[in-house]
Amino acid sequence: MSMRKSAPLAAAAAVALTLSACAESERDGSGGSGGEGGGTFTFGAAGAPEVFDPFYATDGETFRITRQIFEGLVEVKPGSAELGPGLATEWEPSEDGKDWTFTLREGVQFSDGEPLNAEAVCANFERMANQNEAAQSGPAEYWAYSTGGFGEDSLYDGCEVEDEQTVVISVKRATSKFPALLSLSSFAMQSPKALEEGNANNVKTQGQGFVYPENSKNPVGSGPYLFEEYDEANKTVTLVRNDDYWGEKAKTEKIVFKIIPDESTRRQELEAGSIDGYDLPNPVDWQGLEEAGNKVEIRDPFNILYLGLNPESNPKLKDVKVRQAINYAIDRESLVSSQLPEGASAASQFMPEAVKGYNSDLEPYPHDVDKAKELLKEAGAENLTLQFAYPSQVSRPYMPNPQKIHEAIANNLEAAGITVKATTKPWNGGYLDNVDAGQYDAWLLGWTGDYDSADNFVGTFFGNASANDFGTVEAGYGEQLAEELAEADGTVDEEERAAKYEELNKKIAEEYVPGAPISHSPPAIVVSEDVEGLVTSPLTAEHFDTVTVGGE
């Protein structure tokens, strides 16, 4: 035994390092080091993709990948939340807002050579609208949620081929979300031939899960990248440039998504140079990442964090004065400056500024403890006790650290004389279930918008009078609010519609007060200093085809 005077662990480490030191020069830093023909962009993904058929996906990690492969009729303009041309260059509604005529882009082919024409578009919509029972129960969640469901329940009314490049999609009623919802990754256009050959709609339940057809493993779209491989053992997804792309070709030859669930490991991989970027770096890391030479790109906030209140679980909350008092009690400004990342702002309403219908005249409730106490007294709720919940084991773009945000708000409430009973559950371990089941008096939750539509915010929260987390019916205004929301949503004229939403936002903030809008937080994305050309999206829906790595 030649190793003397050394602790065995150190010895083991020494052996390993001697072995590895000679290989130092071989360290290949697989990402970033652009090879021939444009190099590779390696991105650290926080989770594995669910399925490669975006129609059945519900998670951002899947969409991040499919977004590079597929395109929608309507796309979001790079760098903003505004709608812009996609596979359709323009669109026009009928007078009643129910029939939408889309003019398709000329010369677009899917990567299997199939043309993108009106027929292909209709084939896609008919496919989406006609899901089997298994798919309707869960996998086709985005369609169910965005259009209201299937058959009679669905917003979708039909698709008609007008000519080769013109297609008319009909909806049952005018709504602010059409055609905005077409920009969702789920509703991107797929090659009809691939859909058919891959038996795309054949979702089955097996045991306590779903099995997806062949199509979900072989995505065929029209986008700037092609799917190459999902190496499950190595946890990487590789895309390669689509050299037949109709538009400007992608700058890098390859994109590799390296699946790294642990956030600190993603950060270390970036520091070690083995990935070129990752999404949603923890705000506490922003400064360190920048000091190390990386670029932390802060997006415009497109989200809302709110405190929900539930009069069903605590009848004292039925009194609007109590709900207003809670709003006055919260010190949003100090919460924003102490707990939220740079660029965050206090919220005055349940939607961010970028959404049409935002009321810029509204101010966030001022922090006024005396006013809060006075209102509580008027309502006879001086001894109010609130069971106030926050989620654990989660970090959301609108809520980087739920526990700290909860602590700050709970302190505010207590300062106004409210007794707070704090409670928590893991995000997937009962929190969402309990909120849904109305088990908390007050709770923290939020939302990142899918597209630029007021309905996607306030409509999502309060549009369903009979079933929403805020117990709006119990509080006495639920039906009315739902009707008003539906009316605003169905207004065809855009300006008129925006005005209605603005008015509604004021009413929600001052008269209905279903909860307390708290803040909007800007999510960030970080890339190494070698990366150029990344255009960030407030919807966190970046396209990577403009990215270059190391000047390649």
Partner 1 sequence: MLKFIVRRLMQLVLVVFVLSILLFAWLRALPGGVVSAMLGERATPQSRAALTEALGLNDPIPVQYLHFLQRAVQGDFGVSTGVQTGRPALEIFLERFPATIELSVVALVLAISLAIPLGYLSARRSGGVIDNASILGSLVGVAVPVFFLAFLLKYWFAVELGWLPVSGRQSIGNATSVTGFFVLDGILTREWDAVWDSFKHLILPGIALASIPFAMIFRITRASVLDVLDEDFVRTAQAKGLSHRVVRGRHVMRNALLPVVTAVGLQMGLLLSGAVLTETVFNFGGVGSALEEAFRERDYPVLQIIVLVAAIAYVLVNLLVDILYALIDPRVRP
Minimal distance in Å, beta carbon 77 to partner 1? Answer: 24
SS3 call for 66 = helix
Q: Which amino acid is at 187?
A: F
Minimal distance in Å, beta carbon 72 to partner 1? Answer: 19
- Residues 425 to 444: which contact partner 1 by CB under 8 A? 425-434, 436
Instruction: Between 42 and 117, name the residue whose CB sits nearer to partner 1.
Output: 42
Sheet hosting strand 303-309, strand order edge to edge: 345-346, 515-520, 303-309, 442-448, 385-392, 419-426
Cα(367)–Cα(50) distance, integer angstroms: 44
Q: What are phi and psi of 468, to 5 degrees?
A: -140, 160
Task: Mark residues 102-141: x for contact with partner 1 by CB under 8 A, - for none.
Answer: -------------------------------xx-xxx--x
- Name the nearest CA neighbour of 540 among 297, 366, 315: 297
36 lies in the binding site for partner 1 (CB under 8 A):
no
520 lies in the binding site for partner 1 (CB under 8 A):
no
347 lies in the binding site for partner 1 (CB under 8 A):
no
Q: What are phi and psi of 16, to 5 degrees?
A: -60, -40
- Name the nearest CA neighbour of 458 among 430, 434, 485, 418: 485
- Residues 54 to 83: which contact partner 1 by CB under 8 A? 58-59
Instruction: Between 265 and 337, name the residue whose CB sits nearer to partner 1.
Output: 265
Instruction: Between 138 and 417, name the residue whose CB sits nearer to partner 1.
Output: 138
24 lies in the binding site for partner 1 (CB under 8 A):
yes
Cα(295)–Cα(263) distance, integer angstroms: 17
Instruction: Between 133 and 157, name the residue whose CB sits nearer to partner 1.
Output: 133
What crossing angle do the helices spanning 402-415 and 332-339 adopt, rounded to 10°?
A: 150
Cα(470)–Cα(467) distance, integer angstroms: 9
Residue 179 preceded by cis peptide, ω within 30:
yes
Minimal distance in Å, beta carbon 231 to partner 1? Answer: 7
348: left (phi over 0), alpha (psi -120 to 50) or beta: alpha
Minimal distance in Å, beta carbon 342 to partner 1? Answer: 25
Render the burial of 187-216: b for 16+ CB within 10 Å, e for the rest: bbbbbbebbeebebbebeeeeeebebbebb
284 lies in the binding site for partner 1 (CB under 8 A):
no
551 lies in the binding site for partner 1 (CB under 8 A):
no
- Residues 367 to 406: which contact partner 1 by CB under 8 A? 393
Cα(232)–Cα(210) distance, integer angstroms: 19
SS3 call for 211 = strand
The piece of 47-55, 105-113, 315-323, 539-547 that touches partner 1 (CB under 8 A) is 47-55
214 lies in the binding site for partner 1 (CB under 8 A):
no
Q: Candidates 61, 75, 114, 269: give the one binding partner 1 (CB under 8 A).
A: 269
Helices within 3-56 (DSSP H only)? 8-21
In this structure, the strands spanning 40-45 and 277-279 are: parallel
Instruction: Between 24 and 361, name the residue whose CB sits nearer to partner 1.
Output: 24
Q: Quote the Cα angle for 382-388-393, to 5°.
A: 165
Q: Candidates 207, 248, 370, 551: give the one binding partner 1 (CB under 8 A).
A: 207
493 lies in the binding site for partner 1 (CB under 8 A):
no
Count residues binding partner 1 (CB under 8 A).
Answer: 84
486 lies in the binding site for partner 1 (CB under 8 A):
no
Tokens of 315: 């009848």
Instruction: Between 235 and 506, name the residue whose CB sits nearer to partner 1.
Output: 235
The piece of 81-89, 107-115, 156-164, 208-216 that touches partner 1 (CB under 8 A) is 208-216
Q: Candidates 39, 41, 51, 352: give the one binding partner 1 (CB under 8 A).
A: 51
Minimal distance in Å, beta carbon 196 to partner 1? Answer: 20
Q: Candidates 101, 109, 205, 282: give the one binding partner 1 (CB under 8 A).
A: 205
Cα(452)–Cα(302) distance, integer angstroms: 9
Minimal distance in Å, beta carbon 244 to partner 1? Answer: 24
Minimal distance in Å, beta carbon 60 to partner 1? Answer: 10
- Residue 493, Cβ density class (10 Å: 0-12 exposed, 13-18 middle, ≥19 buried): exposed
- Residues 137 to 196: which contact partner 1 by CB under 8 A? 137-138, 141, 144-145
Task: Mark residues 285-324: x for contact with partner 1 by CB under 8 A, - for none.
Answer: ----------------------------------------
Q: Candidates 80, 268, 282, 401: give the one binding partner 1 (CB under 8 A).
A: 268
- Residues 221 to 250: which contact partner 1 by CB under 8 A? 231-236, 238
Q: Candidates 106, 164, 262, 510: give the one binding partner 1 (CB under 8 A).
A: 262
Instruction: Between 97 and 308, name the residue whose CB sits nearer to partner 1.
Output: 308
- Name the nearest CA neighbour of 354 among 30, 61, 79, 26: 79
Q: Which residues contact 51 (CB under 8 A, 6 or more apart)?
A: 57, 62, 212, 216, 217
Q: Candidates 10, 126, 244, 483: give the one binding partner 1 (CB under 8 A).
A: 10
Cα separation values, 193 from 91, 131, 198, 239, 508, Å: 25, 18, 8, 21, 48
Minimal distance in Å, beta carbon 482 to partner 1? Answer: 13
Tokens of 424: 């928590």
- Residues 438 to 477: which contact partner 1 by CB under 8 A? 445-447, 460, 464, 467
